[in-house]
Structure 1
Amino acid sequence: MKELIDLEKGHQRARLLVLTVVVGCLLLCCTSVIVAFKFAADASKRIFVVNRGVALEAFSANVLENRPAEAVFHVTRFHELFFTNPPDARSIEANFIKASFLADESVKLTFDRLKEDTFYQKLIQTNTNQKVVVEKVDVDMKKYPYKVRTVFKIIQERATNKSTRLLASEAVLVDVTRSEVNPQGFLLRNFRITQRSEAREEIVR
């Protein structure tokens, strides 16, 4: 009888050992599969670019993750091109053409209105160099088309004085196909100046 009890206990221990080994193998297999898939997913995000015999590693990412930053850059770049005006007619025209690829016809209307008001002519005649400093860009990416509000400074430098004016603009952003002249794939629509402060003058010595 004792031998039968010992034999039964031995079978139970053997079954427990086999069950432990099987569960351990299953856990090891599942872990290996999960790690392998994760490694494969990470590897698929890596690409190697060979430039003159040198391998450079690059990473791919979801384009939507970087969309807000691209929107801010697009708006900032537009303001820099449109409002940076040296006292040279060709440069002013060239900057406007670059800016027009980033926005719709509302920008052309603003440009034509400034031309009619002899704004650019006065810059050239007084040898005024105008540049822009973008202070803040607010883009609402929660609702399409995306609403944009930009606060920026216009600085006009002349031989004897410098003036600074704070402005604000509003527009909406829509998605368009990326291109060489519009790498972020956005287009500004319904652009308008919504706020202007009085110019603050400084004497240059």
Structure 2
Amino acid sequence: MFKQFRNIDTAFKHIKTFSIISNVCIILLCGFVIYKSHEAVQTILSSIWVVVDGRPLQAKIAGSKDDPEVEARQHVTNFHQLFFSLDPDDKAITANITKALYLADESAKREYDNLREKGYYSGLISGNISQRITVDSIRLDMRSEPYGFTCHATQRLIRSSGTLMRTLTTTGTLRNVKRTDNNPHGFLIQRWETLENADIQSR
């Protein structure tokens, strides 16, 4: 009889051990399934479909600052194009400069005020001069924030009598800020200044 009780006790211990192992395995399996499901949902949510000319194309949503160097270059390029690509129209100039000033600190505002006081913008308007800029290269130092940059560009001043070409070299630093509709790359240009702006040829 005691042997039978021992067998029952042993069988109960085996069942208890088996139950514990089974429960642990089920919990681990559930955790794995939940993790993989979450991963799959994130993958789905990070992809969008865009219809271009009637054809669906899959696009990937980039995370915040996935490639900071590329975004920094684009930020510097956008600023210079807005600040220096101008037409002989007061409202167009104001609109472009306003957009540019969202991308930089007070150093850009000071430069704008200086040019305005010198009559630069009124000269563009009275002379019917269009100004265009092409960014040739941007040198970045991304080792530590604020990130230093030097921008080399070519300006074209287009008028009825011909086109004047100028070199433009500027420098400054970039710091991270929150992304907004007015500042989609999340950088702010600081201590911006012009190092060189010289005529190179006239056509």
Normalised-by-shorter TM-score class: 0.7 to 0.9
- The one-letter code matched in structure 2 to 1:116 is E
Rounded to whole Å, the distance in 2 between the matches of 1:42 and 1:197 is: 56
SS in structure 2 at match of 1:63: coil
Deviation at 1:63, TM superposition (A): 3.4
Deviation at 1:139, TM superposition (A): 1.5
What are the within-5 Å matches in structure 2 for residues 56-95 of structure 1?
57-95=58-96
Deviation at 1:197, TM superposition (A): 2.3
Matched, 1:198 2:199: yes
Does the 8 A contact of 2:50 with 2:59 survive in 1? no
Deviation at 1:106, TM superposition (A): 0.6
Rounded to whole Å, the distance in 2 between the matches of 1:93 and 1:61 is: 32
2:42 aligns with 44
Does the 8 A contact of 2:175 with 2:190 survive in 1? yes
Summarize the Cα distance change of 1:51–1:166 in structure 2 as closer, same or farther, 3 Å threshold: closer
SS in structure 1 at match of 2:199: coil
- The one-letter code matched in structure 1 to 2:44 is R
Deviation at 1:198, TM superposition (A): 2.5
Rounded to whole Å, the distance in 2 between the matches of 1:58 and 1:40 is: 20
Q: Deviations over 1:37-68 (max 9, x none)?
A: 8997576333254789x997544555343111
Rounded to whole Å, the distance in 2 between the matches of 1:151 and 1:43 is: 44
Rounded to whole Å, the distance in 2 between the matches of 1:58 and 1:92 is: 35
- The one-letter code matched in structure 1 to 2:99 is K
Summarize the Cα distance change of 1:72–1:51 in structure 2 as closer, same or farther, 3 Å threshold: closer
- Unaligned stretches of 5+ in structure 2? 1-31
TM-score, structure 2 length as denominator? 0.73
2:181 aligns with 180
1:110 aligns with 111
1:134 aligns with 135
Q: CA RMSD in A?
A: 2.8
Rounded to whole Å, the distance in 2 between the matches of 1:62 and 1:125 is: 46
- Unaligned stretches of 5+ in structure 1? 1-33
Rounded to whole Å, the distance in 1 between the matches of 2:50 and 2:72 is: 30
Rounded to whole Å, the distance in 2 between the matches of 1:201 and 1:58 is: 44
- The one-letter code matched in structure 1 to 2:117 is E
TM-score, structure 1 length as denominator? 0.72
| Paired-residue identity, % | 31
The runs of at least 4 aligned residues of structure 1 exceeding 6 Å deviation read 37-40
1:145 aligns with 146
